[in-house]
């Protein structure tokens, strides 16, 4: 497949495969994980990841792990949830759904990631925003991601987003997996597979092309800072 990506089918749901795209190179390189499409009513994130693959930006600077469509049934139906009505992004503590179970199985076969980004969009937001989980206080990628997205679309200026304190489109929630009954993918990744993760959100009210461009801009900023500038 294009650019040396390996296409891996790690499960299926209904008529649809669950797939990962990976690209490994010898030598020490940062390991970057990107996922999208866990909410079926959010079409921009899977398209943004496919555009990144096509663009060639996911190059030899890093080792890549992509899950571009974690809820294919939901995307086909245009629903947030899967075909059984489960919000998969609340299912990662107990892994009750076939999608999250298969995804966790695939993740268990991968090395740990230096960076993980879950790509989403938000129907209520008027601008781009993101969540950061960075319990070790590593150099933050939040500000560069927001700055890059802001060149494409507005940033949500609200002091409270989704019930959490926010500043300049950045939410830094406490990392409290034991206190949360329903884990999103990001908490699961943080507990088992990475020490730095982001959930980025584009505003659904804007045109699809703008949302894709905003997500690509934010992802590009995070990738360049983690893997070095493109040569
Ligand atoms: Zn979402």
Tens digits of per-residue pLDDT, 94-116? 999 999 999 999 999 999 999 99
| Distance, CA of 160 to CA of 105 (rounded, Å) | 35
Q: Are the CB atoms for 195 and 27 separated by under 8 Å? A: no
Cα of 147 vs centre of ligand 1, distance in Å, is 21
Cα of 87 vs centre of ligand 1, distance in Å, is 9
Q: What is the DSSP letter of 4?
A: G
Quickly list H helices, the chain.
44-55, 72-77, 98-108, 142-150, 185-192, 208-227
The per-residue pLDDT for 4 is 87
The per-residue pLDDT for 124 is 93
Cα of 200 vs centre of ligand 1, distance in Å, is 9
Cα of 53 vs centre of ligand 1, distance in Å, is 21
Cα of 42 vs centre of ligand 1, distance in Å, is 6
Cα of 34 vs centre of ligand 1, distance in Å, is 14
Cα of 119 vs centre of ligand 1, distance in Å, is 8
Q: Are the CB atoms for 63 and 25 separated by under 8 Å? A: yes
β-partners of residue 23 are 64
The per-residue pLDDT for 1 is 58
| Distance, CA of 128 to CA of 150 (rounded, Å) | 8
Cα of 76 vs centre of ligand 1, distance in Å, is 15
Q: Are the CB atoms for 148 and 228 separated by under 8 Å? A: no
Cα of 11 vs centre of ligand 1, distance in Å, is 21
The per-residue pLDDT for 2 is 59
Question: Which tokens hold the place of 151?
Answer: 């060149």
Question: Smallest Cα–Cα separation from 159: which of 135, 184, 129, 180?
Answer: 129
The per-residue pLDDT for 188 is 98
Cα of 231 vs centre of ligand 1, distance in Å, is 33
- In the chain, which stretches have pLDDT less than 70? 1-3
The per-residue pLDDT for 26 is 83
Strand 6-13 relative to strand 16-23: parallel, antiparallel, unpaired?
A: antiparallel
Tens digits of per-residue pLDDT, 121-162? 999 999 999 999 999 999 999 999 999 999 999 999 999 999
β-partners of residue 31 are 63
Cα of 82 vs centre of ligand 1, distance in Å, is 13
Cα of 122 vs centre of ligand 1, distance in Å, is 6
The per-residue pLDDT for 217 is 98
The per-residue pLDDT for 27 is 85
């Amino acid at each position: 497949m294009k650019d040396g990506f390996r296409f891996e089918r790690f499960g299926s749901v209904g008529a649809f495969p669950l797939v990962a795209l990976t690209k490994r190179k010898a030598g020490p390189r940062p390991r970057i994980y990107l996922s999208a499409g866990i909410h079926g009513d959010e079409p921009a994130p899977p398209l943004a990841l496919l555009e990144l693959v096509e663009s060639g930006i996911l190059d030899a600077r890093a080792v890549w792990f992509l899950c571009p469509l974690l809820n294919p049934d939901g995307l086909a139906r245009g629903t947030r949830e899967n075909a059984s009505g489960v919000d998969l992004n609340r299912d990662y503590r107990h892994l009750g759904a076939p999608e999250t179970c298969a995804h966790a199985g695939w993740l268990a076969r991968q090395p740990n990631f230096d960076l993980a980004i879950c790509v989403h969009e938000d129907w209520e937001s008027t601008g781009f925003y993101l969540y950061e989980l960075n319990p070790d206080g590593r150099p933050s990628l939040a500000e560069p991601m927001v700055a890059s997205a802001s060149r494409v679309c507005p940033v949500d200026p609200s002091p409270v987003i989704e019930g959490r304190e926010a500043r300049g489109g950045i939410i830094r929630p406490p990392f409290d997996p034991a206190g949360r009954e329903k884990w999103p993918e990001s908490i699961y990744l943080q507990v088992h597979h990475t020490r730095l993760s982001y959930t980025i959100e584009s505003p659904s009210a804007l045109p699809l092309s703008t949302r894709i461009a905003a997500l690509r801009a934010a992802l590009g900023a995070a990738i360049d800072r983690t893997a070095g500038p493109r040569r």
